[in-house]
Amino acid sequence: MLRVLLVTPDFPPSTGGIAVLLGNLVRSTPGLEIRVVALGEEGAAELDRAEGFETRRVGSVGMRRQLAVPMLNARLLYEATRFRPDVILSGHVVASIAALPIQRLMRVPLVQYVHADEIRVRPRLAGRAVRAAAATIAVSRYTRDLAVDAGADPQRVHVIPPGVELPSGPAAERSEDPIMLTVATFVSPRKGHDVVIRALPSIREAVPGARWIVIGDGPLRAKIEASAVAAGVDDAIDFLGRVGDEERDRWLDRARVFCMPSRLPPEGTGGEGFGIVYLEAGAHGLPVIGGRVAGALDAVVEGETGLLVDPVDHDAVAAAAIELLSNRSLADRLGAQGRLHAAEHAWPRIAARVEALLRETAAGRDG
C-alpha cells in the first residue's frame, strides 16, 4: 500500500472546511496507508480511537498559532523518519515548513493542498510551498489561479474540488413554511450574515412568515445577533449555534432555500476557496444562494443548482431569496439539479482522483 503522511493543523473533530475535507478524504481512501499528524482538540482522543487510521496529535488548536505550528512541523519531522512515507500530503501551507526540507533530504515528494484564504494571509509561505511542491491540489479554478499567481507551475497544479457525503437515510419532509437556512461559522464577516440581515425586511415584506435559521457559532455571533435586534428582524431569526450532523441534516431537508452570500475580504483576494456547504445543501435537494465570487463559481452552477448574486448587495440577496421562496417550481428544479451536481462530487469519486494523483506523484519520486 502507498504510504501517505498527511500533516494538517485542521482535522476532525474540528468542523471547518479544511478539516471536513481531509477527514473525509482519509476515510474514503482505504487503499492507502495513511498516518495523520494534526493538532489536538477536545474530543480528538475518542474520535481517533474509533477511526481505522493512525493519527498523531500534538499541541492544541487552542494554542497560539506561533507555538502550535512549530510543534506540528517538529512532529512531522519525527514521524517522517519513522513512518518512511512514499509521499507527504500537506493540508495547509503552514505544514509545508517541515515538509519542504523532508522532500529535499529524504527524496519524499510533497503534494500541497491550497484552499484560498491562506494564500492571502501567508503569501510568502504559500508561494514557497507551491513553487517547490511536486504537485499542488487546488480546490477550485479560482484557487488554481491564486496558486499560479503565487508562483506555482501551472502544469503541476491540479483542480480537484472537495467531495460531499451524500445523505444515506430517509429525508425529513420539506416544510411548507418559507424557511431560509445558513450553515456557517461566525469567524469571518465574509460569510455574509450581515448582508442577509439587511435583506430580511424586504424578504419578509414580500414573503410573509419568512424565517431564517442560522446554524453555526464563533466570536462574531454576538455582534450579528445585536445587529439583528437593531434592524428589528430578530423575531424572524433562530440562531441555533453549533448543532450535530443529524440536526443540521434535518434542517437541510426542511428548509426551502440555502443562503450564504460569501464575499471576498477587503483586500479583494482570498475568501471562499470552494464552499462545501453549497454541495451539502444540494445533496439535500436545496436550492442555494451564493456570492458571485471566488470558489462559489465552481460550487454553484448559476441558474441550475442555485442563484449567484453580488454578495455585498442586500437588495440582490433579497431578490434571489424572494424568487426562490415564492416560486416553488423553480426552487424544486434547482434543488433536483443540486442533487445531481452533488452526486458528481460524492467522496468516492473525489477521493479516487486524489489517490490517483498521490500514486502518480510517488511513482515519479526517482524521476
In the chain the domains, ranked by start, together with CATH numbers, are: 2-163+346-363 (3.40.50.2000), 179-344 (3.40.50.2000)
* Other residues' Cβ atoms within 10 Å of the Cβ of residue 177: 12
pLDDT at 366: 42
DSSP 76: H
The four Cα atoms 9, 34, 151, 100 give a dihedral, to 10 degrees, of: 80
> 3-state DSSP call for residue 367?
coil
Residues in the chain where the model's pLDDT stays below 70 = 365-367
Cβ pair 274, 299 in contact under 8 A: yes
Cβ–Cβ under 8 Å, residues 291 and 261:
yes
> What is residue 4's predicted lDDT score, i.e. its pLDDT?
98
Half-sphere exposure of residue 158: CA atoms within 13 angstroms, side-chain side:
20
Digit-coded pLDDT (tens) for 44-54 = 999 999 987 89
Tell me what pLDDT residue 63 has.
Answer: 78
pLDDT at 42: 87
Which residue in the block uniquely carries the three cell numbers 502550535? 68
Strands of 135-138's sheet in order across = 54-58, 32-39, 2-8, 87-90, 110-114, 135-138, 157-159
Output phi, psi for 192, to 5 deg. 95, 15
Compute the distance between CA of residue 93 and CA of residue 121 in angstroms, rounded to an integer: 10
What secondary structure letter does DSSP report for 166? P
For residues 113 and 91, what is the distance between their CA atoms, to the nearest angstrom?
5
290, 262 contact by CB (below 8 A): yes
- H or E element, residue 33: strand 32-39
Strands 54-58 vs 32-39: parallel, antiparallel or unpaired: parallel
Q: Is 355 helix (H, G, I), strand (E, B) or coil?
A: helix
